[in-house]
Structure 1
């Protein structure tokens, strides 16, 4: 059995089609599904197989996570599920659990959910998680709040009065030279100063900003990517001057196990070692916190000699040149592809 998460009393692993009988048992139980939006969906083992095959197995392969089978160690039985599910309506991963009634009241829901949340932060590279619970489901509401999720709003969906909660665990990283800090709308002016500089945007697929609203839009777009679980964007803040000197970040593609990174430093801070150390710090965090990550890559214009030297010095391999791959500012551009593999660190 390929165990992904282990707690003192539980194992959490990916579902297989052999679990259909167990899924049928807990998914057809009216007490288990009383507060869910899919009550009545599972009436046969075939229904259970369809959920495993068409939802969970598909999500494991395409998203990188889905609900896990919850296995009780003492009898090796599947008693429910726990884990994450990407919810397109919420633009975020949702944490949830279900288990057969005979296992309620033993603290297993909290034990499993806490482990699933730690797995999300430390193995999936996620930092924003949501949870939704029926207002009448006081036990599950208590678990979510004890995990640190905070109520954001209440509304009605599926005929249920729901409480929407979330937890934000943005990974701020501090070194002796700088801090990789969260990019929020409060720093819009700093982002504008960076991207309104023509030297910063010379080799960038982004036009020089002319209005603060453009910076606010960019921050909003980056935040959506983060909340969806597809990447992070950091501001690079100099510790001694308390100034934003640049930004860096990545977008992650689970299907290819590849993250594409980028970095921008304001010209006032060029040749001071910020870019080199920021990329080294960021890539270390990525390989540590995204277990499935195999490859980090960067695309660099051939004429951008400073970035070419930078990635070479960091140990990135020049894979080759993609001719006229980039198209921006009414021109096509050749792009050098640099990569760093997990086995090379």
Structure 2
């Protein structure tokens, strides 16, 4: 089944998404201090990206990753305070009608349900607006908290990939979790 949808237009029309407690919106250079707060924390970024050594590293990351190709990349902002507490992205593979979710969250906000809340909205957007047939995510098996977020949004373990990659000098085994449109619709009808 071929999907005829201009996903870039859909992303352009949906650069701002909201949940009860969060705004999902484009990341800008004005977010550099908030992002540096967690990007310079080794525990927060151990499994996600190389630690930022300076505010300039964060500004480079924002301009080179988030701003240069912004579609599908969202800052996670607390509505109550306007503080950027993390990021979430949806990387679409148009040819296969699927997408991968990735995220990072300031550890000062772990355990409060913010990332499952943001990821649930990204799933809704992916299935309802982008008309995807499957959304998946992977995590290092040594990072079970990330896997727990995936389970909370309805993803199921699809497999383990031993020796999936090298990360920060170590061989990593990844777990892959996913959810199909049909599985998501069963819960959200």
TM-score range, shorter chain: 0.7 to 0.9
- Pick from 68, 75, 78: which aligns with 1:69? 75
Cα contact 2:23–2:78 (8 A) shared by 1: yes
The alignment yields a C-alpha RMSD, in angstroms, of 2.6
Pairing of 1:36-185 with structure 2 (within 5 A): 36=48, 38-40=49-51, 42-60=52-70, 64-66=71-73, 68-86=74-92, 93-155=99-161, 156-157=164-165, 158=167, 159-169=171-181
| Map 1:259-298 → 2, pairs under 5 A | none
Question: Residues of 1 paired with 2:34 and 2:23: CA distance?
Answer: 15
TM-score, normalised to structure 2, is 0.75
How far is the alpha carbon of 1:86 from its aligned partner?
A: 4.6
1:19-38 equivalent positions in 2, closer than 5 A: 19-36=31-48, 38=49
Q: Quick one: structure 1 residues 86 and 39, their matched pair in 2 at CA, closer, same or farther if it must change by over 3 Å?
A: farther
The normalised TM-score by structure 1 is 0.43
Higher normalized contact order (CA 8 Å, seq sep 6+, divided by chain length)? 2
Q: 1:91 to 1:7 in 2, by over 3 A?
A: closer
Q: Matched residues in 2 for 1:43 and 1:92: separation?
A: 34
Q: Do 1:35 and 1:160's aligned partners in 2 also have CA atoms closer than 8 Å? A: no
Unaligned runs of 5+ in 2: 1-13, 183-189
Contact 1:82 1:97 in 2 (8 A): yes
Report the structure number with the largest CA radius of gyration. Answer: 1
CA contact (8 A) 1:71 1:77 kept: yes
